[in-house]
Structure 1
Protein backbone atom coordinates (compact mmCIF):
# COMPACT_ATOMS: atom_id res chain seq x y z
CA UNK A 1 0.00 0.00 0.00
CA UNK A 2 2.71 2.44 0.97
CA UNK A 3 4.82 1.91 -2.14
CA UNK A 4 1.74 2.25 -4.29
CA UNK A 5 1.11 5.63 -2.68
CA UNK A 6 4.69 6.63 -3.41
CA UNK A 7 4.28 5.57 -7.03
CA UNK A 8 0.99 7.42 -7.32
CA UNK A 9 2.43 10.60 -5.84
CA UNK A 10 5.39 10.48 -8.21
CA UNK A 11 3.12 10.01 -11.20
CA UNK A 12 1.17 13.08 -10.09
CA UNK A 13 4.25 15.25 -10.48
CA UNK A 14 4.24 17.91 -13.22
CA UNK A 15 6.14 15.78 -15.75
CA UNK A 16 8.28 12.73 -16.09
CA UNK A 17 12.00 12.86 -16.76
CA UNK A 18 11.37 11.87 -20.38
CA UNK A 19 8.99 14.79 -20.89
CA UNK A 20 11.38 17.21 -19.24
CA UNK A 21 14.27 16.08 -21.42
CA UNK A 22 12.10 16.53 -24.49
CA UNK A 23 11.09 20.00 -23.27
CA UNK A 24 14.71 21.11 -22.81
CA UNK A 25 16.04 19.69 -26.07
CA UNK A 26 13.12 20.61 -28.34
CA UNK A 27 11.85 23.99 -29.55
CA UNK A 28 8.58 24.85 -27.76
CA UNK A 29 6.48 24.52 -30.87
CA UNK A 30 7.65 20.99 -31.60
CA UNK A 31 7.52 20.02 -27.93
CA UNK A 32 3.92 21.16 -27.56
CA UNK A 33 2.87 18.95 -30.46
CA UNK A 34 4.85 15.89 -29.43
CA UNK A 35 3.09 12.62 -28.51
CA UNK A 36 4.64 12.82 -25.02
CA UNK A 37 2.60 15.94 -24.34
CA UNK A 38 -0.53 15.19 -26.34
CA UNK A 39 -1.16 11.68 -25.07
CA UNK A 40 1.17 11.13 -22.13
CA UNK A 41 -0.41 9.70 -18.97
CA UNK A 42 0.85 12.66 -16.91
CA UNK A 43 -1.33 15.14 -18.85
CA UNK A 44 1.33 17.79 -19.10
CA UNK A 45 -0.20 21.17 -20.16
CA UNK A 46 -0.48 21.38 -23.92
CA UNK A 47 -1.26 25.03 -24.44
CA UNK A 48 1.49 27.66 -24.40
CA UNK A 49 -0.04 29.86 -21.64
CA UNK A 50 -0.68 26.92 -19.29
CA UNK A 51 2.79 25.54 -20.04
CA UNK A 52 4.33 28.88 -19.13
CA UNK A 53 2.33 29.10 -15.93
CA UNK A 54 3.29 25.55 -15.06
CA UNK A 55 7.02 26.08 -15.58
CA UNK A 56 7.28 29.49 -13.91
CA UNK A 57 5.23 28.74 -10.81
CA UNK A 58 7.27 28.72 -7.59
CA UNK A 59 4.77 26.55 -5.73
CA UNK A 60 5.85 23.15 -4.46
CA UNK A 61 2.49 21.67 -5.41
CA UNK A 62 1.53 20.88 -8.98
CA UNK A 63 -2.10 21.50 -8.07
CA UNK A 64 -1.49 25.23 -7.44
CA UNK A 65 -1.61 26.04 -11.16
CA UNK A 66 -4.99 26.88 -12.63
CA UNK A 67 -6.13 28.25 -15.97
CA UNK A 68 -6.45 31.71 -14.43
CA UNK A 69 -3.15 31.76 -12.54
CA UNK A 70 -0.33 34.04 -13.62
CA UNK A 71 3.44 33.46 -13.77
CA UNK A 72 5.07 33.90 -10.36
CA UNK A 73 7.16 36.79 -11.71
CA UNK A 74 4.95 39.07 -13.81
CA UNK A 75 8.00 41.08 -14.89
CA UNK A 76 9.78 38.06 -16.34
CA UNK A 77 10.11 37.76 -20.07
CA UNK A 78 7.33 35.71 -21.66
CA UNK A 79 8.68 33.57 -24.51
CA UNK A 80 7.40 34.41 -27.94
CA UNK A 81 5.53 31.28 -29.03
CA UNK A 82 5.31 32.55 -32.59
CA UNK A 83 9.09 32.76 -32.74
CA UNK A 84 10.34 30.17 -30.21
CA UNK A 85 13.93 30.14 -31.48
CA UNK A 86 14.44 33.75 -30.39
CA UNK A 87 13.50 32.89 -26.81
CA UNK A 88 15.10 29.48 -26.48
CA UNK A 89 17.24 30.51 -23.51
CA UNK A 90 14.16 31.75 -21.64
CA UNK A 91 12.33 28.48 -22.25
CA UNK A 92 15.40 26.53 -21.11
CA UNK A 93 15.76 28.57 -17.92
CA UNK A 94 12.12 28.00 -17.06
CA UNK A 95 12.42 24.27 -17.78
CA UNK A 96 15.53 23.95 -15.63
CA UNK A 97 13.76 25.63 -12.71
CA UNK A 98 10.87 23.21 -13.16
CA UNK A 99 13.25 20.23 -13.18
CA UNK A 100 14.99 21.49 -10.04
CA UNK A 101 11.62 21.79 -8.29
CA UNK A 102 10.60 18.33 -9.48
CA UNK A 103 13.79 16.74 -8.17
CA UNK A 104 13.33 18.45 -4.80
CA UNK A 105 9.72 17.30 -4.58
CA UNK A 106 10.46 13.66 -5.43
CA UNK A 107 13.35 13.61 -2.95
CA UNK A 108 11.27 15.11 -0.14
CA UNK A 109 8.32 12.81 -0.75
CA UNK A 110 10.46 9.72 -0.10
CA UNK A 111 11.16 11.03 3.40
CA UNK A 112 7.52 11.97 3.90
CA UNK A 113 6.46 8.42 3.09
CA UNK A 114 9.28 7.02 5.22
CA UNK A 115 7.92 8.91 8.22
CA UNK A 116 4.41 7.69 7.44
CA UNK A 117 5.65 4.08 7.11
CA UNK A 118 7.57 4.27 10.41
CA UNK A 119 4.54 5.70 12.21
CA UNK A 120 2.28 3.03 10.73
CA UNK A 121 4.61 0.21 11.78
CA UNK A 122 5.01 1.59 15.31
CA UNK A 123 1.26 1.99 15.69
CA UNK A 124 0.64 -1.62 14.61
CA UNK A 125 3.47 -2.98 16.77
CA UNK A 126 5.10 -0.71 19.39
CA UNK A 127 8.06 -3.12 19.63
CA UNK A 128 8.61 -3.39 15.88
CA UNK A 129 11.75 -1.27 15.66
CA UNK A 130 13.16 -2.56 18.95
CA UNK A 131 12.90 -6.09 17.55
CA UNK A 132 14.29 -4.98 14.20
CA UNK A 133 17.36 -3.39 15.80
CA UNK A 134 18.11 -6.55 17.80
CA UNK A 135 19.59 -8.25 14.73
CA UNK A 136 18.60 -10.21 11.64
CA UNK A 137 17.81 -13.89 11.24
CA UNK A 138 16.44 -14.11 7.69
CA UNK A 139 15.11 -17.38 6.35
CA UNK A 140 15.81 -16.45 2.74
CA UNK A 141 18.67 -15.25 0.61
CA UNK A 142 17.16 -13.59 -2.45
CA UNK A 143 19.31 -13.17 -5.56
CA UNK A 144 17.25 -11.19 -8.04
CA UNK A 145 17.41 -8.81 -10.95
CA UNK A 146 18.02 -5.09 -10.41
CA UNK A 147 14.82 -4.31 -12.35
CA UNK A 148 12.96 -1.67 -10.33
CA UNK A 149 9.59 -3.37 -10.89
CA UNK A 150 10.41 -6.45 -8.78
CA UNK A 151 10.71 -5.57 -5.08
CA UNK A 152 11.38 -8.91 -3.38
CA UNK A 153 9.49 -8.27 -0.15
CA UNK A 154 6.40 -6.87 -1.83
CA UNK A 155 5.84 -9.66 -4.33
CA UNK A 156 6.42 -12.36 -1.71
CA UNK A 157 4.70 -10.77 1.30
CA UNK A 158 7.92 -10.94 3.31
CA UNK A 159 8.58 -8.44 6.09
CA UNK A 160 11.77 -6.55 6.99
CA UNK A 161 14.19 -9.08 8.43
CA UNK A 162 12.82 -12.03 6.46
CA UNK A 163 15.11 -11.87 3.42
CA UNK A 164 18.76 -11.04 2.80
CA UNK A 165 18.69 -9.47 -0.66
CA UNK A 166 21.24 -9.21 -3.47
CA UNK A 167 20.31 -7.84 -6.89
CA UNK A 168 22.20 -7.29 -10.12
CA UNK A 169 21.52 -7.11 -13.85
CA UNK A 170 19.87 -10.38 -14.94
CA UNK A 171 20.30 -12.06 -11.51
CA UNK A 172 23.73 -13.54 -12.29
CA UNK A 173 25.90 -15.57 -9.93
CA UNK A 174 29.42 -15.26 -11.31
CA UNK A 175 32.32 -16.83 -9.45
CA UNK A 176 34.49 -13.80 -10.28
CA UNK A 177 31.94 -11.38 -8.80
CA UNK A 178 33.21 -10.86 -5.25
CA UNK A 179 30.02 -9.03 -4.36
CA UNK A 180 27.65 -11.93 -4.90
CA UNK A 181 30.20 -14.45 -3.59
CA UNK A 182 30.53 -12.46 -0.35
CA UNK A 183 26.74 -12.21 -0.05
CA UNK A 184 26.29 -15.97 -0.42
CA UNK A 185 29.10 -16.71 2.02
CA UNK A 186 27.75 -14.33 4.67
CA UNK A 187 24.15 -15.46 4.25
CA UNK A 188 25.05 -19.15 4.53
CA UNK A 189 27.85 -19.19 7.10
CA UNK A 190 26.74 -16.38 9.40
CA UNK A 191 23.02 -15.78 8.89
CA UNK A 192 22.27 -19.49 8.43
CA UNK A 193 19.61 -18.91 5.76
CA UNK A 194 17.40 -21.91 5.01
CA UNK A 195 16.50 -21.04 1.41
CA UNK A 196 18.43 -19.44 -1.43
CA UNK A 197 16.20 -18.11 -4.19
CA UNK A 198 17.47 -17.09 -7.61
CA UNK A 199 14.60 -15.11 -9.12
CA UNK A 200 14.55 -13.98 -12.73
CA UNK A 201 11.69 -12.41 -14.63
CA UNK A 202 10.13 -12.61 -18.04
CA UNK A 203 10.90 -9.54 -20.11
CA UNK A 204 14.40 -9.21 -18.64
CA UNK A 205 16.32 -6.48 -20.46
CA UNK A 206 19.67 -8.06 -19.63
CA UNK A 207 18.67 -11.37 -21.20
CA UNK A 208 17.22 -9.57 -24.21
CA UNK A 209 20.45 -7.59 -24.67
CA UNK A 210 22.48 -10.79 -24.52
CA UNK A 211 20.40 -12.20 -27.38
CA UNK A 212 21.36 -9.32 -29.66
CA UNK A 213 24.53 -9.31 -31.76
CA UNK A 214 25.71 -5.90 -30.61
CA UNK A 215 28.77 -4.47 -28.94
CA UNK A 216 27.45 -3.07 -25.65
CA UNK A 217 30.72 -1.80 -24.27
CA UNK A 218 31.28 -2.35 -20.56
CA UNK A 219 28.22 -4.64 -20.46
CA UNK A 220 29.91 -7.18 -22.77
CA UNK A 221 31.76 -9.19 -20.09
CA UNK A 222 28.69 -9.24 -17.87
CA UNK A 223 26.26 -10.28 -20.58
CA UNK A 224 28.68 -12.91 -21.87
CA UNK A 225 27.58 -15.04 -18.93
CA UNK A 226 24.06 -15.11 -20.39
CA UNK A 227 25.41 -15.73 -23.88
CA UNK A 228 27.28 -18.70 -22.44
CA UNK A 229 23.96 -20.00 -21.13
CA UNK A 230 22.59 -19.75 -24.67
CA UNK A 231 25.62 -21.61 -25.99
CA UNK A 232 25.11 -24.42 -23.47
CA UNK A 233 21.47 -24.80 -24.53
CA UNK A 234 21.82 -23.77 -28.15
CA UNK A 235 20.00 -26.73 -29.70
CA UNK A 236 16.97 -26.40 -27.43
CA UNK A 237 16.72 -22.65 -27.91
CA UNK A 238 17.27 -22.68 -31.68
CA UNK A 239 14.49 -25.24 -32.00
CA UNK A 240 12.02 -22.68 -30.58
CA UNK A 241 10.79 -20.74 -33.60
CA UNK A 242 8.74 -18.14 -31.76
CA UNK A 243 11.15 -15.38 -30.67
CA UNK A 244 9.26 -14.42 -27.53
CA UNK A 245 8.97 -18.04 -26.42
CA UNK A 246 12.71 -18.49 -27.04
CA UNK A 247 13.38 -15.34 -25.02
CA UNK A 248 11.25 -16.59 -22.12
CA UNK A 249 12.96 -19.97 -22.18
CA UNK A 250 16.40 -18.33 -22.02
CA UNK A 251 15.18 -16.41 -18.95
CA UNK A 252 14.30 -19.74 -17.30
CA UNK A 253 17.52 -21.47 -18.36
CA UNK A 254 19.53 -18.53 -17.06
CA UNK A 255 17.87 -18.89 -13.64
CA UNK A 256 18.65 -22.63 -13.62
CA UNK A 257 22.30 -22.01 -14.52
CA UNK A 258 22.64 -19.39 -11.79
CA UNK A 259 21.16 -21.87 -9.30
CA UNK A 260 23.84 -24.30 -10.42
CA UNK A 261 26.48 -21.63 -9.80
CA UNK A 262 25.14 -21.17 -6.26
CA UNK A 263 25.35 -24.91 -5.65
CA UNK A 264 28.99 -24.90 -6.78
CA UNK A 265 30.01 -22.69 -3.85
CA UNK A 266 31.83 -24.19 -0.86
CA UNK A 267 29.61 -22.51 1.70
CA UNK A 268 26.41 -24.00 0.32
CA UNK A 269 27.88 -27.49 -0.11
CA UNK A 270 29.40 -27.59 3.37
CA UNK A 271 26.35 -26.15 5.12
CA UNK A 272 24.04 -28.62 3.41
CA UNK A 273 26.30 -31.56 4.31
CA UNK A 274 26.28 -30.47 7.93
CA UNK A 275 22.79 -28.99 8.42
CA UNK A 276 20.65 -30.19 5.47
CA UNK A 277 20.14 -26.56 4.49
CA UNK A 278 20.05 -24.25 2.61
CA UNK A 279 17.90 -25.45 -0.29
CA UNK A 280 18.35 -23.65 -3.60
CA UNK A 281 15.27 -22.59 -5.60
CA UNK A 282 14.78 -21.12 -9.08
CA UNK A 283 11.80 -18.82 -9.60
CA UNK A 284 10.61 -16.56 -12.41
CA UNK A 285 8.32 -13.55 -11.98
CA UNK A 286 5.75 -12.60 -14.62
CA UNK A 287 4.69 -9.01 -15.14
CA UNK A 288 1.52 -10.00 -16.96
CA UNK A 289 -0.07 -11.56 -13.87
CA UNK A 290 2.28 -10.68 -11.00
CA UNK A 291 2.83 -14.34 -10.13
CA UNK A 292 5.97 -16.26 -9.30
CA UNK A 293 6.65 -19.48 -11.16
CA UNK A 294 8.65 -22.19 -9.39
CA UNK A 295 10.96 -23.92 -11.86
CA UNK A 296 11.06 -26.96 -9.54
CA UNK A 297 14.84 -27.14 -9.27
CA UNK A 298 15.98 -30.62 -8.22
CA UNK A 299 18.47 -29.28 -5.69
CA UNK A 300 19.74 -32.64 -4.43
CA UNK A 301 20.08 -34.02 -7.96
CA UNK A 302 21.87 -30.86 -9.10
CA UNK A 303 24.22 -31.03 -6.09
CA UNK A 304 25.05 -34.67 -6.80
CA UNK A 305 25.74 -33.96 -10.48
CA UNK A 306 28.09 -31.05 -9.93
CA UNK A 307 30.05 -32.63 -7.10
CA UNK A 308 31.83 -34.95 -9.51
CA UNK A 309 33.92 -31.90 -10.43
CA UNK A 310 32.96 -29.17 -7.95
CA UNK A 311 32.96 -31.08 -4.68
CA UNK A 312 34.09 -28.65 -1.96
CA UNK A 313 32.59 -30.30 1.11
CA UNK A 314 36.00 -30.72 2.76
CA UNK A 315 36.87 -27.51 4.59
Structure 2
Protein backbone atom coordinates (compact mmCIF):
# COMPACT_ATOMS: atom_id res chain seq x y z
CA UNK A 1 0.00 0.00 0.00
CA UNK A 2 0.95 3.63 -0.34
CA UNK A 3 2.17 5.33 2.81
CA UNK A 4 -0.56 7.95 2.46
CA UNK A 5 -3.27 5.26 2.35
CA UNK A 6 -1.88 3.68 5.51
CA UNK A 7 -2.04 7.14 7.09
CA UNK A 8 -5.64 7.61 5.95
CA UNK A 9 -6.90 4.24 7.18
CA UNK A 10 -5.03 4.57 10.48
CA UNK A 11 -6.46 8.04 11.07
CA UNK A 12 -9.97 6.62 10.68
CA UNK A 13 -9.14 3.83 13.15
CA UNK A 14 -7.91 6.36 15.71
CA UNK A 15 -10.90 8.63 15.11
CA UNK A 16 -13.21 5.72 15.87
CA UNK A 17 -11.57 5.48 19.30
CA UNK A 18 -11.70 9.14 20.25
CA UNK A 19 -14.11 11.83 19.07
CA UNK A 20 -11.51 14.51 19.86
CA UNK A 21 -9.44 13.45 16.83
CA UNK A 22 -9.90 15.65 13.76
CA UNK A 23 -8.10 15.98 10.42
CA UNK A 24 -6.87 19.12 8.69
CA UNK A 25 -5.34 19.44 5.22
CA UNK A 26 -4.65 22.37 2.89
CA UNK A 27 -6.31 21.27 -0.37
CA UNK A 28 -4.74 17.78 -0.41
CA UNK A 29 -7.51 15.45 0.85
CA UNK A 30 -7.09 12.88 -1.93
CA UNK A 31 -3.31 13.17 -2.21
CA UNK A 32 -2.77 12.54 1.49
CA UNK A 33 -5.82 10.23 1.87
CA UNK A 34 -7.60 12.51 4.33
CA UNK A 35 -10.65 11.76 2.16
CA UNK A 36 -11.06 8.48 4.09
CA UNK A 37 -11.79 10.46 7.25
CA UNK A 38 -13.94 12.94 5.32
CA UNK A 39 -16.12 10.09 4.11
CA UNK A 40 -16.47 8.44 7.52
CA UNK A 41 -16.67 11.58 9.69
CA UNK A 42 -17.40 14.55 7.41
CA UNK A 43 -17.80 16.97 10.33
CA UNK A 44 -14.39 16.08 11.77
CA UNK A 45 -12.22 16.75 8.70
CA UNK A 46 -11.32 20.16 7.33
CA UNK A 47 -9.92 21.14 3.95
CA UNK A 48 -8.82 24.76 4.43
CA UNK A 49 -7.75 25.33 0.82
CA UNK A 50 -4.28 26.22 -0.41
CA UNK A 51 -3.31 27.94 2.83
CA UNK A 52 -0.63 25.93 4.61
CA UNK A 53 0.12 28.54 7.26
CA UNK A 54 -3.56 28.75 8.13
CA UNK A 55 -3.79 24.94 8.29
CA UNK A 56 -1.05 24.91 10.94
CA UNK A 57 -2.51 27.76 13.01
CA UNK A 58 -6.05 26.42 12.68
CA UNK A 59 -4.84 23.02 13.94
CA UNK A 60 -3.05 24.67 16.86
CA UNK A 61 -6.24 26.54 17.74
CA UNK A 62 -8.27 23.33 17.67
CA UNK A 63 -5.68 21.73 19.95
CA UNK A 64 -5.93 24.65 22.36
CA UNK A 65 -9.66 23.92 22.61
CA UNK A 66 -9.07 20.29 23.54
CA UNK A 67 -9.22 18.52 20.18
CA UNK A 68 -6.35 16.40 18.81
CA UNK A 69 -5.66 17.48 15.22
CA UNK A 70 -3.76 15.45 12.65
CA UNK A 71 -2.60 18.13 10.22
CA UNK A 72 -1.34 16.61 6.97
CA UNK A 73 0.78 18.77 4.65
CA UNK A 74 3.19 17.86 1.88
CA UNK A 75 6.70 18.37 3.22
CA UNK A 76 7.65 20.83 0.48
CA UNK A 77 4.64 23.02 1.25
CA UNK A 78 5.23 23.14 5.01
CA UNK A 79 7.85 25.74 4.15
CA UNK A 80 4.91 28.14 3.74
CA UNK A 81 3.87 27.48 7.34
CA UNK A 82 7.26 27.57 9.08
CA UNK A 83 6.51 30.71 11.09
CA UNK A 84 3.30 29.12 12.34
CA UNK A 85 5.08 25.91 13.31
CA UNK A 86 7.44 27.89 15.52
CA UNK A 87 5.03 30.41 17.07
CA UNK A 88 1.67 28.64 17.14
CA UNK A 89 2.69 25.01 17.58
CA UNK A 90 6.11 24.67 19.24
CA UNK A 91 6.02 27.79 21.41
CA UNK A 92 2.53 26.88 22.61
CA UNK A 93 3.40 23.18 23.05
CA UNK A 94 -0.01 22.17 21.74
CA UNK A 95 -0.96 18.51 21.46
CA UNK A 96 -1.21 17.90 17.71
CA UNK A 97 0.37 15.66 15.09
CA UNK A 98 1.88 17.22 11.98
CA UNK A 99 2.13 14.57 9.26
CA UNK A 100 4.49 15.42 6.40
CA UNK A 101 3.55 13.48 3.29
CA UNK A 102 5.90 13.43 0.28
CA UNK A 103 8.98 13.73 2.50
CA UNK A 104 12.20 13.11 0.57
CA UNK A 105 12.63 12.83 -3.18
CA UNK A 106 9.30 12.55 -4.98
CA UNK A 107 10.12 11.72 -8.59
CA UNK A 108 8.60 13.36 -11.63
CA UNK A 109 7.10 16.35 -9.81
CA UNK A 110 10.65 17.63 -9.51
CA UNK A 111 12.38 20.35 -7.54
CA UNK A 112 9.24 22.21 -6.45
CA UNK A 113 7.83 19.15 -4.69
CA UNK A 114 10.86 17.38 -3.20
CA UNK A 115 10.42 17.31 0.57
CA UNK A 116 14.10 17.40 1.38
CA UNK A 117 14.47 20.40 3.71
CA UNK A 118 12.10 19.58 6.58
CA UNK A 119 14.62 17.77 8.78
CA UNK A 120 17.08 20.65 8.48
CA UNK A 121 14.56 23.38 9.26
CA UNK A 122 12.62 21.52 11.96
CA UNK A 123 15.41 20.10 14.10
CA UNK A 124 16.37 23.56 15.34
CA UNK A 125 12.88 24.29 16.70
CA UNK A 126 12.54 23.71 20.46
CA UNK A 127 9.86 21.41 21.90
CA UNK A 128 9.11 19.61 18.61
CA UNK A 129 9.33 15.84 18.37
CA UNK A 130 10.40 14.74 14.86
CA UNK A 131 10.31 11.11 13.73
CA UNK A 132 10.30 9.08 10.53
CA UNK A 133 9.09 5.47 10.16
CA UNK A 134 11.07 2.67 8.55
CA UNK A 135 7.87 1.02 7.30
CA UNK A 136 4.08 1.05 7.53
CA UNK A 137 3.97 -0.64 10.96
CA UNK A 138 6.19 2.10 12.35
CA UNK A 139 4.01 4.79 10.78
CA UNK A 140 0.98 3.37 12.59
CA UNK A 141 2.97 3.13 15.84
CA UNK A 142 4.03 6.76 15.52
CA UNK A 143 0.49 7.95 14.83
CA UNK A 144 -0.74 6.18 17.97
CA UNK A 145 2.18 7.63 19.93
CA UNK A 146 1.45 11.16 18.70
CA UNK A 147 -2.19 10.75 19.70
CA UNK A 148 -1.92 8.93 23.00
CA UNK A 149 1.70 8.59 24.09
CA UNK A 150 2.59 12.26 24.54
CA UNK A 151 1.04 15.66 25.23
CA UNK A 152 3.21 17.71 22.88
CA UNK A 153 3.52 18.50 19.16
CA UNK A 154 4.90 15.65 17.06
CA UNK A 155 6.04 15.65 13.43
CA UNK A 156 5.96 12.42 11.40
CA UNK A 157 7.61 12.48 7.96
CA UNK A 158 7.09 9.75 5.35
CA UNK A 159 7.60 9.45 1.59
CA UNK A 160 5.39 9.45 -1.46
CA UNK A 161 4.45 6.06 -2.86
CA UNK A 162 4.36 2.47 -1.76
CA UNK A 163 5.74 1.03 1.44
CA UNK A 164 7.45 -2.32 1.92
CA UNK A 165 4.92 -4.48 3.80
CA UNK A 166 2.04 -6.54 2.42
CA UNK A 167 0.58 -7.25 5.86
CA UNK A 168 0.62 -3.64 7.05
CA UNK A 169 -2.34 -3.64 9.44
CA UNK A 170 -0.52 -4.34 12.70
CA UNK A 171 -1.86 -3.60 16.16
CA UNK A 172 -0.26 -0.20 16.80
CA UNK A 173 1.77 0.31 19.96
CA UNK A 174 3.13 3.37 21.70
CA UNK A 175 6.87 3.75 21.15
CA UNK A 176 9.37 5.41 23.47
CA UNK A 177 10.22 8.95 22.44
CA UNK A 178 13.82 9.51 21.36
CA UNK A 179 14.81 5.85 21.16
CA UNK A 180 16.55 4.30 18.16
CA UNK A 181 17.35 0.65 17.59
CA UNK A 182 20.00 -1.63 16.19
CA UNK A 183 18.68 -3.57 13.19
CA UNK A 184 21.95 -5.40 12.44
CA UNK A 185 25.00 -5.92 14.62
CA UNK A 186 28.39 -5.39 13.02
CA UNK A 187 32.02 -4.49 13.65
CA UNK A 188 33.68 -2.80 10.65
CA UNK A 189 31.38 0.11 9.90
CA UNK A 190 28.14 1.54 11.28
CA UNK A 191 25.29 2.80 9.12
CA UNK A 192 22.95 5.27 10.79
CA UNK A 193 19.71 5.94 8.95
CA UNK A 194 16.34 7.53 9.56
CA UNK A 195 13.10 6.72 7.77
CA UNK A 196 12.26 4.33 4.91
CA UNK A 197 15.65 4.79 3.22
CA UNK A 198 16.82 2.40 5.92
CA UNK A 199 15.38 -0.42 3.81
CA UNK A 200 17.99 0.36 1.15
CA UNK A 201 20.67 0.33 3.85
CA UNK A 202 19.53 -3.12 4.96
CA UNK A 203 20.06 -4.36 1.40
CA UNK A 204 23.59 -2.94 1.42
CA UNK A 205 24.37 -4.51 4.80
CA UNK A 206 23.28 -7.90 3.44
CA UNK A 207 25.46 -7.48 0.32
CA UNK A 208 28.43 -6.52 2.46
CA UNK A 209 27.91 -9.60 4.63
CA UNK A 210 28.12 -11.76 1.50
CA UNK A 211 31.53 -10.17 0.89
CA UNK A 212 32.63 -10.90 4.44
CA UNK A 213 32.21 -7.33 5.70
CA UNK A 214 30.56 -7.01 9.11
CA UNK A 215 28.43 -3.84 8.95
CA UNK A 216 26.07 -2.59 11.65
CA UNK A 217 22.86 -0.73 10.94
CA UNK A 218 21.07 1.57 13.36
CA UNK A 219 17.61 2.94 12.64
CA UNK A 220 17.62 6.14 14.69
CA UNK A 221 13.79 6.58 14.35
CA UNK A 222 13.85 10.06 15.91
CA UNK A 223 15.63 13.09 14.53
CA UNK A 224 14.55 15.08 17.58
CA UNK A 225 15.27 14.14 20.26
CA UNK A 226 18.22 12.07 19.08
CA UNK A 227 18.96 8.88 20.98
CA UNK A 228 22.10 10.17 22.69
CA UNK A 229 22.60 7.01 24.73
CA UNK A 230 22.75 4.99 21.51
CA UNK A 231 25.03 7.56 19.85
CA UNK A 232 27.45 7.36 22.78
CA UNK A 233 27.68 3.58 22.26
CA UNK A 234 28.25 4.06 18.52
CA UNK A 235 30.85 6.80 19.04
CA UNK A 236 32.85 4.59 21.40
CA UNK A 237 32.72 1.50 19.18
CA UNK A 238 33.16 2.55 15.55
CA UNK A 239 35.94 4.30 13.64
CA UNK A 240 33.81 4.61 10.48
CA UNK A 241 30.21 5.83 10.36
CA UNK A 242 27.95 6.42 7.35
CA UNK A 243 24.75 8.42 7.86
CA UNK A 244 21.96 7.98 5.31
CA UNK A 245 18.89 10.20 4.93
CA UNK A 246 16.27 11.08 2.33
CA UNK A 247 16.81 14.77 2.92
CA UNK A 248 19.36 17.52 2.34
CA UNK A 249 22.89 16.79 3.56
CA UNK A 250 23.42 20.32 4.81
CA UNK A 251 21.91 20.74 8.24
CA UNK A 252 19.95 17.50 8.31
CA UNK A 253 20.19 14.19 10.15
CA UNK A 254 23.83 13.52 9.24
CA UNK A 255 24.80 17.00 10.41
CA UNK A 256 23.08 16.30 13.74
CA UNK A 257 25.19 13.15 14.17
CA UNK A 258 28.39 15.03 13.28
CA UNK A 259 27.54 17.74 15.83
CA UNK A 260 26.93 15.14 18.54
CA UNK A 261 30.23 13.38 17.87
CA UNK A 262 32.16 16.67 17.89
CA UNK A 263 30.45 17.93 21.04
CA UNK A 264 31.31 14.71 22.88
CA UNK A 265 34.91 14.41 21.64
CA UNK A 266 34.38 11.30 19.52
CA UNK A 267 36.49 11.26 16.38
CA UNK A 268 35.15 8.65 13.95
CA UNK A 269 35.42 9.15 10.22
CA UNK A 270 31.90 10.12 9.12
CA UNK A 271 30.44 10.24 5.63
CA UNK A 272 27.01 11.82 5.15
CA UNK A 273 24.81 10.44 2.38
CA UNK A 274 21.79 12.47 1.34
CA UNK A 275 20.54 15.02 -1.14
CA UNK A 276 23.42 17.28 -2.26
CA UNK A 277 23.35 21.07 -2.18
CA UNK A 278 21.53 21.55 -5.47
CA UNK A 279 18.02 21.26 -6.87
CA UNK A 280 17.25 17.75 -8.11
CA UNK A 281 15.40 17.72 -11.43
CA UNK A 282 12.62 15.46 -12.72
CA UNK A 283 13.05 11.72 -13.02
CA UNK A 284 11.93 8.55 -11.35
CA UNK A 285 12.76 8.18 -7.66
CA UNK A 286 15.33 5.41 -8.37
CA UNK A 287 16.99 7.67 -10.95
CA UNK A 288 17.10 10.52 -8.47
CA UNK A 289 18.57 8.27 -5.78
CA UNK A 290 21.30 7.20 -8.18
CA UNK A 291 21.92 10.82 -9.17
CA UNK A 292 22.39 11.73 -5.50
CA UNK A 293 24.49 8.67 -4.59
CA UNK A 294 21.77 7.34 -2.29
CA UNK A 295 21.04 4.05 -4.08
CA UNK A 296 22.27 0.65 -2.91
CA UNK A 297 25.08 0.39 -5.48
CA UNK A 298 26.47 3.81 -4.55
CA UNK A 299 26.32 3.02 -0.84
CA UNK A 300 28.05 -0.30 -1.42
CA UNK A 301 30.87 1.36 -3.39
CA UNK A 302 31.28 4.09 -0.79
CA UNK A 303 31.62 1.53 1.98
CA UNK A 304 34.19 -0.48 0.06
CA UNK A 305 36.24 2.65 -0.63
CA UNK A 306 36.20 3.69 3.03
CA UNK A 307 37.24 0.28 4.27
CA UNK A 308 39.98 -0.04 1.64
CA UNK A 309 41.46 3.31 2.66
CA UNK A 310 41.21 3.48 6.46
User: Larger RCO: Structure 1 or Structure 2 (Cα < 8 Å, ≥ 6 residues apart)?
Assistant: 2
Bigger radius of gyration: 1
Return the TM-score normalized by structure 2. Answer: 0.29
Return the TM-score normalized by structure 1. Answer: 0.29
Higher strand share: 2
Higher helix share: 1
